[in-house]
Amino acid sequence: MGSIKTVGIVGAGQMGNGIAHVFALAGYDVILNDISEDMLEKARATITRNLDRQVVKGTITEDGKAEALGRIGSTLTLADLGPRDLIIEAATEKEKVKQAIFEELLPHLAEGTILTSNTSSISITRLAAGTDRPEKFMGFHFMNPVPVMQLVELIRGIATDEETFQSCLEVVESLGKTAATAEDYPAFIVNRILIPMINEAVYALYEGVGSVRSIDTSMKLGANHPMGPLELADFIGLDTCLAIMNVLHDGLADTKYRPCPLLVKYVEAGWLGRKSKRGFYDYRGEEPVPSR
The model's pLDDT over 204-226, given as tens digits with 9 standing for 90+, comes to: 999 999 999 999 999 999 999 99
Annotated binding site for NAD(+): 11-16, 34, 93, 98, 120, 144, 275
**Exposure on the CB side of residue 291, measured as CA atoms within 13 A:** 20
pLDDT of residue 1 exceeding 90, the answer is: no
Range of the domain at 61: 6-183
pLDDT of residue 279 exceeding 70, the answer is: yes
Are 57 and 173 in the same domain?
yes
C-alpha gyration radius of the chain: 19
User: Does some domain include residue 107?
Assistant: yes
**Is 153 known to be catalytic?**
yes
> What pLDDT, in 10s, does the model give residues 173-197?
999 999 999 999 999 999 999 999 9
User: Does some domain include residue 38?
Assistant: yes
Are 106 and 229 in the same domain?
no
Percent of all residues in the chain with a pLDDT value above 70, rounded to a whole number? 99
User: Does some domain include residue 234?
Assistant: yes
**Is 141 known to be catalytic?**
yes
Are 208 and 70 in the same domain?
no
Beta-strand ranges (E) seen in 70-199 are 72-75, 86-89, 114-117, 137-142, 151-156, 178-182
Q: How confident is the model at residue 265 (pLDDT cuts 50, 70, 90)?
A: very high
**Is 191 known to be catalytic?**
yes
The values of phi and psi at residue 260, to 5°, are: -65, 135
Given the residues 117, 123, 191, 199, the one annotated as active site? 191
Beta-strand ranges (E) seen in the chain are 6-10, 29-33, 72-75, 86-89, 114-117, 137-142, 151-156, 178-182, 281-282, 289-290
For residue 117, what are the β-bridge partners? 89, 139
Q: How confident is the model at residue 8 (pLDDT cuts 50, 70, 90)?
A: very high
Determine if residue 166 is left, alpha or beta; phi over 0 gives left, psi from -120 to 50 gives alpha, anything else beta: alpha
What is the rounded distance in angstroms from the CA atom of residue 119 to the CA atom of residue 127?
A: 10
Given the residues 17, 21, 141, 167, the one annotated as active site? 141
User: Does some domain include residue 1?
Assistant: no
Annotated binding site: 11-16, 34, 93, 98, 120, 144, 275
**Tell me, what's the pLDDT at 148?**
94
Given the residues 33, 120, 121, 167, the one annotated as active site? 120
Question: Are the beta carbons of 98 and 119 closer than 8 angstroms?
Answer: yes
**Residue at a domain's end among 116, 149, 183:** 183
CA 12 to chain centre: 11
**Residue at a domain's end among 155, 183, 211:** 183
Long-range Cβ pairs for the range 171-179 (8 Å, 24+): 171/1, 171/2, 171/4, 171/86, 174/1, 174/2, 174/26, 174/27, 175/22, 175/23, 175/26, 176/26, 177/22, 177/150, 177/151, 177/152, 178/150, 178/151, 178/152, 179/151, 179/152, 179/153, 179/154
User: Does some domain include residue 269?
Assistant: yes
What is the rounded distance in angstroms from the CA atom of residue 267 to the CA atom of residue 269?
A: 5
Q: How confident is the model at residue 108 (pLDDT cuts 50, 70, 90)?
A: very high
Are 44 and 125 in the same domain?
yes
User: Does some domain include residue 69?
Assistant: yes
Are 16 and 38 in the same domain?
yes
pLDDT of residue 56 exceeding 60, the answer is: yes
User: Does some domain include residue 226?
Assistant: yes
Percent of all residues in the chain with a pLDDT value above 90, rounded to a whole number? 96
**Is 33 known to be catalytic?**
no
User: Does some domain include residue 137?
Assistant: yes
Given the residues 50, 74, 153, 167, the one annotated as active site? 153
Are 238 and 145 in the same domain?
no
**Residue at a domain's end among 183, 213, 243:** 183
Are 140 and 274 in the same domain?
no
Check which CATH number belongs to the domain holding 104 and give it: 3.40.50.720
**Tell me, what's the pLDDT at 2?**
61
Are 207 and 109 in the same domain?
no
Q: What's the mean per-residue pLDDT of the chain?
A: 96
**Tell me, what's the pLDDT at 292?**
84
Number of domains observed in the structure of the chain: 2
